[in-house]
Structure 1
Amino acid sequence: MVKETGLLQRTRWFYALVGGALAVAFGGVVTGFILLGDSWFQLLMAAALGIIFTQVAFLAHEAAHRQIFASGPANARLARVLAAGVVGISYAWWDSKHSRHHANPNRVGRDPDIEVDTISFLDEDAAQARGLRNAITRRQGWLFFPLLTLEGLNLHWQGLRHLLSREPVKGRWVELGLIALRFALLLTPVFLLLPVGMAFAFLGVQLAVFGVYMGASFAPNHKGMPVIAPDAKLDFFSKQVRTSRNISGGWWATWLMGGLNYQVEHHLFPNMPRPHLARAREIVREYCASIDVPYTETTLWRSYGIVIAYLNRVGLAARDPFDCPAASQFRRA
């Protein structure tokens, strides 16, 4: 009982520290924004704001997994306020999508994270790409990180589209109100205190940094790991471990990625708070070795290389099989 109390106290102190640090950082950005005035150095404040919003999104993710408070409803309320009211994305949309991902990571037809969007994650989706999407898919590995500059805008749009759809949405009007208030508080000072061109540049930088940071934190987790066929039979443990990839680095990777660096443990124990994942990693690694289940862990930079190579390989399916200089000459003849 004493040990459990100690773990709970450590969890509370950890999230209090994270929340306090983000509040101080946000206060620093507001102060810097006011002091800098009409200056292009404001773009530094915009970049800092993109980083802060991403870190808040990590907290919303943890609250949605019931990691912060003992009460489920309290976690859900916090997740909704952080996601919609601070970050500006729909908690209802994200929660539905993310829950399906956790149940069936990398399973064809069931994991929404590998469904085709601008990027194709499956050969069959790449082969069906047409027009502009075909041109992007053919080079999607190299274009992946540049495209992430638009991911922030995409996350806002997807959430709003879900909230404005005709399907039932829990907390629809609460979230729409929070998102409207959030954008009013953000856009009003930006457009009142900065010239129009600088204001749009501020928003562009903030959204780009937010999108790249979010995408660069989530992409290493599963992209390039085994894809499960729709009819494959796998037990829970094997399914979660084989499709997940950890990022090495210890404490700095945990802070940088909001605990997503321990993706294997997070998928096995989705309610486990961030400060306890490192210890769980030791136990899981040892157990995987004892039952001969592959446990994947690599560096952050190596994971990006794997993701780019995987996306480029999938993108080959979008290419014309006769797209080579010799074939072009024969076609012209």
Structure 2
Amino acid sequence: MGTARVRASAERGSDFARLSRRIAREGLLDRRPGYYAVRIGLVAGLFAGTWALFAVVGDSWWQIPVAVLLAVAFGQLTLLAHDLAHGQIFRSRRTSRLAGLLVGNLSVGLSYGWWMDKHTRHHANPNHEDHDPDVAPDILLWSEKQAEASRGIPRFIGRWQAFLFFPMLTLEGLNLKVASFRGLSRKSLKSRKVEGLLLSAHVLAYLGALFLVLPPGKALLFLAVHQACYGVYLGCTFAPNHKGMPVLTAEDELDFLRRQVLTSRNVRGGHLVTTALGGLNYQIEHHLFPSMPTVNLRKARPIVREYCASLGVDYVECGLFASWGQALRHLHEVGRPLRAVRT
């Protein structure tokens, strides 16, 4: 897919304000403490229960499925940290941050402050090749412009990145931990010492538990399976949202509503899909109203979809597997020029 070239006139600047007023009248921006109390309890129970199961199973090859289950628990905790970062759960920023540090840094080894800064920049300019860190040309290439300018490893991988995407996701869990520790060097990061201590405590407790219960070989295998499944789970959760949608550049002039809607994709599915993706299958609604409690996104969907139709704004929805297919086709198309030449 080529770079999007869609523009909106200045007269449309109030479109989001009208939608926002309607959403507010429906009470969909109101907090849902009961929902989050239940969700936090279930996720905490899954996390603690999986570690308890790990201790009970002990030195056994049955620890492999336990590693997979722990990856699911880590994924659900990460999705909970996402909601905390958006202020969906608590009114107080301080409370949200403290909870985020416990869930992110201590529980899963992800720097809450570093990730929150990165994710905030993504929400401000989704799929913008100059401003969205999620489509920065790190290893994977997301636009033809990035492919043309690529050198070294990204250029080599870019040729066949669609085929390498899922295998590379197995490293995403470890990559996030490395990036979290690297993020501690940023002076703009608040409470760097606290974040560093909590990240270090996580690593020590995690490795200590593995090597205390399991012999070295099984401990390393458990670590590899757990982190690989965790990375794939996160990738399969976040990739359907924007990958394969229009990539914006400085030439694209869009108001807030169109910038969010045209670069996002909803994923159809029932309660299982919603639970697995942490509600991010309603990505369009989430990007329009980041602080809206996850449980309310489903109710906002028909309102937003109808409103977009009245404006003539494309509202994209598809199934989970179809969304992955669109993302992979986009990656393959971006790498096409690289496959046509030898460097």
* Structure 1: gaps of 5 or more residues: 324-333
Q: Which amino acid letter does the alignment assign opposite residue 174 of structure 2?
A: L
Per-residue Cα deviation, 1:193-242 (whole angstroms, up to 9, x for no partner): 21101101111111101100001100111111111121321110011000
Change in 2 beyond 3 A, CA 1:284/1:132:
same
Q: Which one has the largest radius of gyration?
A: 1
Which of 153, 156, 170 aligns to 1:149? It is 170
CA shift at 1:128, angstroms? 3.6
Aligned partners of 2:299 and 2:340: how far apart in 1?
Answer: 49
Aligned partners of 2:137 and 2:29: how far apart in 1?
Answer: 45
Asked if 1:304 corresponds to 2:324, the answer is yes
1:1-333 aligned at under 5 Å gives the runs 8=31, 11-163=32-184, 165-321=185-341
- Find the counterpart in structure 2 of residue 327 from structure 1: none
**Matched length:** 319
Change in 2 beyond 3 A, CA 1:75/1:322:
closer
Aligned partners of 2:27 and 2:152: how far apart in 1?
Answer: 57
* Structure 2: gaps of 5 or more residues: 1-25
Aligned partners of 1:219 and 1:96: how far apart in 2?
Answer: 19
Q: Which amino acid letter does the alignment assign opposite residue 14 of structure 1?
A: Y
Aligned partners of 1:201 and 1:101: how far apart in 2?
Answer: 34
Larger RCO, structure (CA 8 Å, separation 6 or more): 2
Please say if residues 90 and 159 of structure 1, whose CA atoms lie closer than 8 Å, have aligned partners that are also in contact: yes
SS of equivalent residue, structure 1 residue 21: helix
Per-residue Cα deviation, 1:46-70 (whole angstroms, up to 9, x for no partner): 1111110110000100000000012
Q: Which amino acid letter does the alignment assign opposite residue 267 of structure 1?
A: H
Per-residue Cα deviation, 1:24-77 (whole angstroms, up to 9, x for no partner): 222321232122211111111111111101100001000000000122221122
Please say if residues 240 and 265 of structure 2, whose CA atoms lie closer than 8 Å, have aligned partners that are also in contact: yes
Please say if residues 28 and 296 of structure 2, whose CA atoms lie closer than 8 Å, have aligned partners that are also in contact: no
Please say if residues 124 and 317 of structure 1, whose CA atoms lie closer than 8 Å, have aligned partners that are also in contact: no
Q: Which amino acid letter does the alignment assign opposite residue 275 of structure 2?
A: W
**Percent identity over paired residues:** 45
Aligned partners of 2:28 and 2:309: how far apart in 1?
Answer: 31
Aligned partners of 2:40 and 2:290: how far apart in 1?
Answer: 20
Per-residue Cα deviation, 1:237-266 (whole angstroms, up to 9, x for no partner): 011000000000132221010111010000
Please say if residues 29 and 292 of structure 2, whose CA atoms lie closer than 8 Å, have aligned partners that are also in contact: no
Q: Aligned Cα RMSD in Å? A: 2.0
Give the alignment's TM-score, normalised by structure 2.
Answer: 0.88
Change in 2 beyond 3 A, CA 1:37/1:322:
closer
Q: Which amino acid letter does the alignment assign opposite residue 217 of structure 2?
A: G
Aligned partners of 1:254 and 1:205: how far apart in 2?
Answer: 25
